[in-house]
């Protein structure tokens, strides 16, 4: 599966960030797996954009029927990755830990009423929080990582990273923010100096991403319930957000027990 994941990451880097990678030859079966993972990760249009760019590449031995599937899943405007994210959604982030909810509300309130208010910076924080919630529930998802990267590439020069760093510290999300930045530097065309709010990068980013992709793929393949996977993800990423992970674990267990009683 290493070749499948390597090719998927290469195509996503090409499609989302304009890079140019050489695609390794694969069997029809492996191309089918790559397509299924692309659907699960909601990145079909991005991969198809790269496929079109590689049309003359002799190494791109993708079966015609797989190309058709990618094409059919692409032509929808809502599927495109956008750099838009409104901080109005920030307060709606489903934080389980009550203290963090109050901290977040305080951050948003003070920034809205600040003389040098930075909406773009709040938007960026919102994306980090959104990805954090997804990671704790479902593991690392490529769509969210790419959206964060696109935002950084297109609007990063407008972000006040000093403010972002202080907010992340208040929310106790330094390790979670570091993980997200590390995914972008390890998998895609990003340099560490593009993340001035990160002091230490996570050397396990690629391994954790691969594990998340394969667990999600297998769960979909065998039609398994995601309930136990949510709990497993919270445990796996516990060190990245202790209080939030613990609250989500208790919430998932409570939900599972309620379903059993019903």
Domain ranges of the chain: 2-79, 83-262
- The model's pTM is 0.84
* Tokens read off for 140: 């690392």
Does the pLDDT at position 89 exceed 60? no
Q: What is the H or E stretch that residue 184 is in?
A: helix 174-187
Report the SS3 class of residue 42.
coil
What is the distance between the alpha carbons of residues 153 and 118, in angstroms, rounded to a whole number?
17
Length of the chain: 262
CB 132 within 8 A of CB 89: no
Per-residue pLDDT band at 95 (split at 50, 70, 90) = low
- The gap from C-alpha 179 to its chain's centroid, in whole angstroms, comes to 10
What's 195's DSSP letter? -
Cβ distance 155 to 119 under 8 Å?
no
- Which of 157-166, 177-186, 216-225 has the lowest average pLDDT? 216-225
């Amino acid at each position: 599966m290493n070749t499948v994941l390597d090719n998927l990451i290469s195509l996503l880097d090409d499609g989302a960030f304009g890079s140019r990678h050489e695609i390794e030859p694969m069997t029809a079966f492996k191309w089918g797996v790559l397509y299924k993972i692309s659907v699960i990760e909601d990145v079909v249009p991005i991969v198809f954009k790269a496929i079109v760019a590689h049309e003359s590449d002799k190494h791109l031995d993708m079966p015609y029927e797989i190309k058709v599937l990618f094409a059919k899943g692409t032509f929808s405007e809502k599927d495109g990755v956008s750099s838009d994210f409104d901080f109005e959604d920030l307060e709606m982030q489903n934080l389980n830990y009550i203290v963090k909810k109050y901290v977040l509300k305080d951050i948003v309130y003070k920034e809205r009423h600040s003389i040098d208010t930075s909406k773009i910076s709040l938007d960026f924080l919102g994306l980090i929080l959104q990805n954090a919630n997804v990671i704790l529930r479902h593991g690392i998802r490529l769509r969210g990582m790419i959206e964060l990267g696109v935002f950084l590439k297109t609007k990063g020069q407008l972000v006040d990273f000093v403010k972002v760093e202080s907010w992340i510290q208040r929310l106790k999300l330094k390790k979670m923010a570091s993980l997200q930045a590390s995914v972008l530097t390890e998998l895609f065309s990003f340099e560490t100096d593009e993340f001035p709010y990160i002091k230490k990068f996570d050397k396990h980013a690629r391994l954790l991403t691969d594990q998340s992709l394969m667990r999600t793929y297998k769960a979909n393949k065998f039609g398994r319930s995601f309930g136990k996977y949510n709990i497993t993800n919270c445990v796996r990423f516990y060190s990245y957000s202790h209080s939030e992970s613990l609250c989500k674990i208790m919430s998932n267990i409570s939900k599972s027990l309620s379903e059993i009683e019903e």
